[in-house]
Amino acid sequence: MTDFLSYWRGTNWSFDVLYILPFFLIIIRGVSFYLYGRATDLPPMLSGWVPWIGCALQMGQQPLNFIQNARQKLGPIFTLKVLGQRLTFVTEEEDIEVFFNNPDLDFELAVHKPVKNAASIPPEPFFSNHFKLHSMMKGYLAPAKLEPLCKRLNEKFSWHVKKWGESGSGDLYKMVRKAMYAPVVEGLFGDDVLPTNDDEYKTFEKLFVQFDDNFEYAAQIPPFFLKDFNSAKTWLMDKFVTATKIAEKAKLNNGAETLFQTLIKTVDHEWAPNFGLLMMWASLANAIPITFWVLAFILENPDVLAEVRKELRRELKGLLFCWFISFAKISLEKLQNLELIKRCILESIRLRSPGAISRGVEKEIKIKDFTIPEGDMLMLSPYWMHRNPKFFPDPEAFKPDRWLQADVKRNIFLKGFMPFGGGRFQCPGRWFALMEIQLFVAIVLKSVDIDLLEKVPDNSLLHLLGVQQPETGLMVKFRARASTESRDF
Ligand code: HEM
């Protein structure tokens, strides 16, 4: 040891380094090639201490914060090793275009495993059905086709809001779920998926919440680890098997197919119940929490609430709203004019967007100076992108008026806004989502007075997949608006 130290102390550095450095570089390169089979210009990586598990434990309960901390530590492009998978995050605005439009990045590669775990659809039927299913959804839910859906939802939302009662208190999130689930499922899937008897309907609600709450974990780890998720899935899948049989036999109502009937005709017959369940989850899992946030943010800001009520009075003049009659006929055209509500919706979606969306790297790509190897999952976080002050000054504040600079009527949004993803497989339900949320918020604020009994909760930071859930409940007191008041236009 002493010999070794004296060698280092006494050595002629400039001469020896010249010989030793290239040698070290070759070794480093060799090790890196062994590990990754390619160049060393990979993004910096956090790999955790436990093989295969990687950073999964450190990400723990706060994956959203973990990725933001990793960004501060490692820079704008970085890789996290999680459960045997390399997740490479891009976080700067100039990377958005690459993420959505590079032909070597693939949406299907990113989602086929979660789909297998969560909806029991193996890769082969997924790949052969996915493209046609997406195209069908996009066509069925296109803006020009929404009028009949809007009409159907109108009556059902009003009726379910009426079921809250004349006055009372409750958790706003639960109230929204209760009033929206059934109308949305019946509107898109017909009357045969949901149980008609009250007790069984309560079981449906409970099990769907169980399915939804665990979906994110079920998408990542083999489902046999998640007992609650599995039992909920089996129960819900049974409903879809029965509903598929009924829907196939049913005569079409004036030629107007439900989304589910069209789905059955689109995908391979034996997988229709599985795709049906997956579509039902997609149609409820994001839009309903966002509806909760919109109401919560509006109610938390009295000035905004006053302006919204003024808009409702002005634009819905002549329409009858009162708690004991359950119809409020708001056409699509009328909704178009409720621009402030639309701005509140866009602002709420901005603040509570999905934690991350992903694309599979099919063939090695270059981003800035980094090589992103084939097999990586490229990740982008709308949640953090929407907190970029360059696009959204004072990003944490709820400011519906920032959307005055957009053209919300024509659905031209602000730069940097990407809650629905982008590219070929952008969310096909986005126009339907905006319509149903706007309709529900209008009906509620027109027919019910709601007071917050506590502070609006933060989002839970637990979720990367899908929009943000509230950390806790939000107790409110409500009272149906008097019929005279409702008619007071
Ligand atoms: C505020 C509400 C919603 C948000 C924020 C949202 C967001 C998203 C996002 C981020 C994606 C992935 C897109 C990508 O990776 O580029 C997606 C996919 C999808 N969304 Fe939505 N979504 C919402 C509502 C809905 C609704 C109401 C439906 C159905 C009626 C729906 C159906 C779907 C489907 C089927 C996919 C998968 C598309 C595919 O597999 O090709 N979404 N959504």
- Residue 427 known to bind ligand: yes
Ligand 1 close to Cβ of residue 467 (< 6 A) = yes
- Taking the centre of ligand 1 as the mean of its atom positions, its distance from the CA of residue 420, in whole angstroms, is 6
pLDDT (tens digit per residue) in 423-434: 999 999 999 999
Ligand 1 touching residue 358 (CB < 6 A)? no
AA letter at 173: Y
> What pLDDT is attached to residue 24?
52
Q: Is the CB of 420 inside a 6 Å radius of any atom of ligand 1?
A: yes
Protein residue with least CA distance to atom 37, ligand 1: 427
Q: Exposed, middle or buried: residue 362 (CB in 10 Å: 0-12, 13-18, 19+)? A: middle
Residue minimizing CA distance to atom 1 of ligand 1: 287
E strands in 108-232: 167-171
Tell me where in the chain the CATH 1.10.630.10 domain(s) lie. 122-354+386-487
In the block, residue with structure tokens 């008097």 = 482
Report the topology of domain 122-354+386-487: Cytochrome p450 (1.10.630)
User: Is 286 annotated as contributing to ligand binding?
Assistant: yes
140, 265 in Cβ contact below 8 A?
A: no
Say yes or no: CB of residue 349 within 6 Å of ligand 1: yes
Tokens of 359: 């694309």
Q: How many helices (H) and strands (E) are present in the chain, helices listed first?
A: 20, 11
pLDDT at site 328? 63
Tens-digit pLDDT profile for residues 463-487: 899 999 999 999 999 999 865 444 3
Q: 353 near 386, Cβ under 8 Å?
A: yes
pLDDT for residue 225: 80
Residues forming beta bridges with residue 54, ordered by sequence position = 50, 82
Which pair of tokens denotes residue 418? Answer: 């990407």
* Residues of the chain under the 70 pLDDT cut: 1-39, 251-255, 318-328, 482-489
